[in-house]
Structure 1
């Protein structure tokens, strides 16, 4: 698996602009939701998006697996406001969840972590909600917000230095999806397409040497553009390591 990047400032400006342009969705969509069982009520480290341990606790473990909204992995990291519709049990606000997995239930769009499912209810009413199992909901896409966190790049544990690189982006803010990734090949002076290995994990055999530069195709509401980061992954990268950037998306 693998990737690289070019210009922190460019990515910051362009994605913040995209967030402003794209955040116009205000209509809720009717659907159904259920929950999966975990003893600790958190997310799962084996989710189809590839987030690993990050996917268990991100957003206070208010996470979800989705079916159609997974979109072959481009839906990973998207945020949704979800609220159920049982009088006197469901709260007006519901819960804000982050997509970390793929899953299908009984005609459901969302399979929530137990913690997220409980937050659909008004205070002290979660015990009345869980017996329903599957509930009618309404949801809408919202902007992801991570105050105090910069955008981070993780070299996936499957990577093998120097012959195989896989990576994913963490703390992706806004309402945009990353739909393609390319690595800059300095030797050939050209961009090389990366493969979506699974979920939000992009990979590349025989990655370029030296600090790695990549660009991401960012999509929102039918429009796409390329944003670029430079030298985000060092020349002697290590599997499992998360590399911070000075970018903070909102």
Structure 2
């Protein structure tokens, strides 16, 4: 091998420095997010029954899960900045109000489960979540305000013993699989879902369907058990859930991760 010319050496140095810079940028992107630390301002309204979960439909696809643990009706329809075309589904926030005499000023933990279109920095809270910002006994008075300026910040999701859950959509079949991924601790939000069937050694990228649902079509039947590899949106944490869909998986069923 001959000597390295100054031209090729400088190119190598530039490439090396570029890689270092990209690694640095990636680290900052993955681990630094001001919304995790700073309280920012947004508008808040509420919808649905006064003590309810907003709606059991919703643009994320969680259906009646919003009424049950671990959501406990503490949910919101996010404006565009929070819903993020569905990528914000499952994101957790602390929200508090100080602008009304009936505000408790204590933060309430909420999860994005729906979309409030035509707004940006806006939380359309469930009636229950809006009332939870009130001083004890003042929930109805606070809800009567209708709209408030609130402070919020992103918060790591904790579901306290509820494992990550995969709901197989009712329209699924051996050649088409659509799953709703729920209760992702940490980020809550997902940027990638891959699957691996029992009859394959390869991970296959699923496509976003709508809300928090992901889909995959194939020309040969998907044989269980089926594993999933999840990449979270904020920190890019990779979680592998092996064999969560059994050999005899069925549409319309929930399957919970036992370990990952």
> What is the TM-score normalised by the length of structure 1?
0.80
The 1:107/1:69 distance shift into structure 2, 3 A limit, reads closer
Cα deviation, residue 118, structure 1 = 0.7
Structure 2, gaps ≥5 residues long: 1-30
Paired position in structure 1 for 2:24: none
Distance 1:216 1:231 in 2: 14
Paired position in structure 2 for 1:72: 85
Paired position in structure 1 for 2:190: 178
Larger Rg: 2
Which secondary structure state, in structure 2, belongs to the residue aligned with residue 53 of structure 1? helix
1:165 to 173, 177, 198: 177
Distance 2:249 2:33 in 1: 34
Q: Which has the higher contact order (CA 8 A, sep 6+)?
A: 1
Paired position in structure 2 for 1:5: none
Q: Which has the higher strand share?
A: 1
- Between stretches 26-35 and 98-107, larger displacement belongs to 98-107
Does residue 135 of structure 2 align to residue 117 of structure 1? no
Structure 1, gaps ≥5 residues long: 1-19
The 1:41/1:238 distance shift into structure 2, 3 A limit, reads same
Q: Could you say what the CA RMSD is over the residues aligned between the two structures, in angstroms? A: 2.7
The 1:181/1:69 distance shift into structure 2, 3 A limit, reads same
Cα deviation, residue 169, structure 1 = 1.9
The 1:211/1:124 distance shift into structure 2, 3 A limit, reads same
Does residue 134 of structure 2 align to residue 130 of structure 1? no
Distance 1:83 1:134 in 2: 13
Paired position in structure 2 for 1:84: 97
Distance 1:240 1:30 in 2: 39
Contact 2:198 2:224 in 1 (8 A): no
Which secondary structure state, in structure 2, belongs to the residue aligned with residue 129 of structure 1? helix
Cα deviation, residue 43, structure 1 = 3.6
Distance 2:140 2:157 in 1: 29
Paired position in structure 1 for 2:16: none
Paired position in structure 2 for 1:63: 75
> What is the TM-score normalised by the length of structure 2?
0.77
The 1:216/1:23 distance shift into structure 2, 3 A limit, reads farther
Contact 1:151 1:247 in 2 (8 A): no
Which secondary structure state, in structure 2, belongs to the residue aligned with residue 59 of structure 1? coil
Distance 1:208 1:106 in 2: 40
2:60 to 44, 49, 53: 49
Distance 1:35 1:181 in 2: 32
Contact 2:193 2:231 in 1 (8 A): yes
Which secondary structure state, in structure 1, belongs to the residue aligned with residue 192 of structure 2? strand
Does residue 40 of structure 2 align to residue 29 of structure 1? yes
Contact 2:45 2:148 in 1 (8 A): yes
